Amino acid sequence: METTKECGHGIGMQQITGTIKEMNGRVKIESKENVGTEFILTFAKTQSPK
């Protein structure tokens, strides 16, 4: 895994996106300067356990 930080802390976006992709999910990031950033996580619909 590659990073641009010399010393990272926490879980990190690369690990989060990798885990979600392994679960057949998607991550969409929308950012607007001076407004904020929105993270949209999409997962496949599954059947509820009985």
Domain regions of the chain by residue span: 16-42
- Reported as a single tens digit per residue, the pLDDT across 6-50 is 666 667 888 888 999 998 899 999 999 999 999 999 998 888 888
Helix (H, G, I), strand (E, B) or coil at 45: coil
- pTM for the full model? 0.58
Buried b / exposed e across 29-49, counting CB within 10 Å, b at 16+? eeeeeeeeeeeeeeeeeeeee
Distance between CA 13 and CA 27 in Å, rounded? 10
